[in-house]
């Protein structure tokens, strides 16, 4: 007789440490929040995705869904803030391009959850969750200012301009999701970098501090980079405005 095949050994249960278990539960929650509005996700679903019991979820998050959502939001916020970090080397617009690649990849991966997060209106939205979102915006603005070579030395006009651009990036991301992620992410990214450059130029025209920052920035750019390509496209457009300039004499 042919001996019966031995049954595979049962998988040994491994007890997770506190931080490891907490991270597992947050990962399960973020998976669900990525594709569903937070107020549509139940603790039972989080437990199922994590492969644990509902009481175990409550053990780590006794405040229930609200506490779990805020913790998951904090985890997502930390990931978003990391998107804006970039070594201070190379042309600034190329750094911002890489930043936007990571940011749009995050938006793509967390589409429904990202929309719910930024649009608000969720039953689990509180002043604490709003503060977390605002923290991401402020941290993103500080990182962009560093890429522009300003950081803490930036004047109020430049700071306002960068925060305005961050708001435009958010709005464009939400519209992009509404439009079925069209145009392609790379095309959206390039358009957003162009917007940043145009806003910088317009602000530099009336603000000395921004003008200094733009002068230093352009000295680092190349003809083949985003700033050079934008300049080449703008020259013909600006040529059509020659009649608006005052005549000599």
- Give SS3 for 203: helix
Nearest CA among 112, 93, 118, 115 for reference residue 195: 93
List C-alpha distances in Å: 12 to 15, 28, 47: 10, 22, 20
pLDDT tens for the chain, residues 1 to 249:
334 444 444 433 456 788 898 888 988 888 887 777 777 888 999 999 999 999 999 999 999 888 888 888 888 888 888 899 898 889 999 999 999 999 999 999 887 767 766 655 444 556 777 888 888 899 999 999 998 887 667 899 999 999 999 999 999 998 999 899 999 999 999 999 999 999 999 999 999 999 999 999 999 999 999 999 999 999 888 888 889 888 764
What pLDDT score does 59 carry?
A: 93
Residue 105 CA to residue 117 CA, distance in Å, equals: 16
Q: 187: how many CB neighbours lie within 10 A of its CB? A: 10
- Give SS3 for 132: helix
What pLDDT score does 45 carry?
A: 93
What pLDDT score does 166 carry?
A: 95
Alpha helices in 87-155 (DSSP H): 92-109, 111-119, 127-147
List C-alpha distances in Å: 115 to 20, 83, 108, 120, 212: 28, 18, 11, 8, 37
List C-alpha distances in Å: 185 to 16, 96, 170, 204: 38, 14, 14, 29
Residue 148 CA to residue 211 CA, distance in Å, equals: 12
Nearest CA among 22, 66, 27 for reference residue 43: 66
DSSP track, 214-238: HHHHHTT--TTSHHHHHHHHHHHHH
């Amino acid at each position: 007789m042919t001996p019966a095949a031995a049954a595979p050994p049962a998988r040994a249960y491994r007890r997770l440490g506190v931080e490891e278990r907490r991270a597992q539960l947050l990962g399960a929650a973020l998976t669900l929040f990525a594709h569903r509005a937070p107020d549509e996700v139940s603790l039972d679903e989080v437990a199922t995705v994590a492969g644990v019991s509902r009481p175990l979820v409550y053990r780590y998050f006794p405040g229930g869904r609200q506490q779990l959502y805020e913790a998951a939001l904090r985890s997502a916020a930390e990931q978003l803030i990391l998107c804006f970090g970039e070594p201070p080397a190379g042309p600034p617009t190329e750094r911002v391009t890489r930043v936007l690649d990571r940011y749009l990849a995050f938006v793509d991966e967390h589409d429904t959850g990202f929309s719910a997060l930024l649009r608000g209106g969720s039953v689990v939205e509180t002043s604490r969750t709003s503060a977390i979102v605002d923290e991401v915006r402020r941290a993103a603005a500080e990182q962009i200012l560093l890429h522009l070579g300003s950081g803490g030395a930036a004047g109020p006009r430049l700071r306002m301009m960068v925060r305005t651009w961050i708001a435009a990036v958010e709005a464009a991301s939400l519209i992009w999701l509404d439009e079925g992620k069209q145009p392609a992410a790379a095309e959206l990214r390039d358009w957003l970098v162009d917007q940043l450059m145009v806003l910088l130029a317009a602000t530099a025209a009336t603000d000395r501090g921004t003008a200094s920052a733009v002068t230093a920035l352009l000295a680092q750019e190349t003809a083949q980079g985003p700033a050079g390509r934008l300049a080449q496209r703008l020259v013909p457009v600006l040529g059509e405005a020659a009649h608006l300039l005052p005549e000599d004499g």
